[in-house]
Amino acid sequence: MGRPKIQRKINCRPAYSCFKPNGIPMTELTSIFLADDELEALRLVDMNGMQQLAAAHELGVSRQTLGSIVSRARQKVAQALVTGQALDLQSTHLPHTQRQAKKVLSSSITQPKNVAIVETETEEH
């Protein structure tokens, strides 16, 4: 059994839950799941232009781990673009501050099973 995954510091949420080829229904597409840490690594390294060592520190992992995450994320994005698959960006983690706020909110409110709490505040990066 492999080592357990350490907690990553995810500071962005995707603007959308997926990206897909135009004009093709999701039911007809296969999806590739892009994990939270993969999207965050792409944001830090490719979008923000950070060096891998600084980005690794920001994400809370080693430089070698960040390199593996970035490589895996780039491969998934390339595969989706070239083969016409959907990229599923549904977040499994909330940024640290939003996770804490949700815990406080969830513990103080009892909600019916068919109602979800929707956060409207977004972080700008």
Q: Is residue 10 part of a domain?
A: no
Q: Is residue 123 part of a domain?
A: no
Task: Report pTM.
Answer: 0.67
Supply the pLDDT for residue 104: 34
Q: Is residue 3 part of a domain?
A: no
Any idea which of 1-5, 16-20, 83-87 has the lowest mean pLDDT?
Answer: 1-5
Q: Concatenated DSSP letters for 13-61?
A: --SSSEE--TTS-GGGS-EEE--HHHHHHHIIIIIS---HHHHHHHHTS
Q: What values do phi and psi take at 83, rounded to 5? A: -100, 0
Q: Is residue 90 part of a domain?
A: yes
Q: Is residue 6 part of a domain?
A: no
What radius of gyration do the chain's Cα atoms show? Answer: 17
Domain range spanning residue 100? Answer: 18-108
Domain count, the chain: 1
Residue 108 pLDDT more than 70? Answer: no
**Residue 33's CATH number:** 1.10.10.10
Q: Is residue 26 part of a domain?
A: yes
pLDDT for 61-72, tens place per residue?
Answer: 999 999 999 999
pLDDT for 41-61, tens place per residue?
Answer: 999 999 999 999 999 999 999
Q: Is residue 122 part of a domain?
A: no
Q: Is residue 114 part of a domain?
A: no
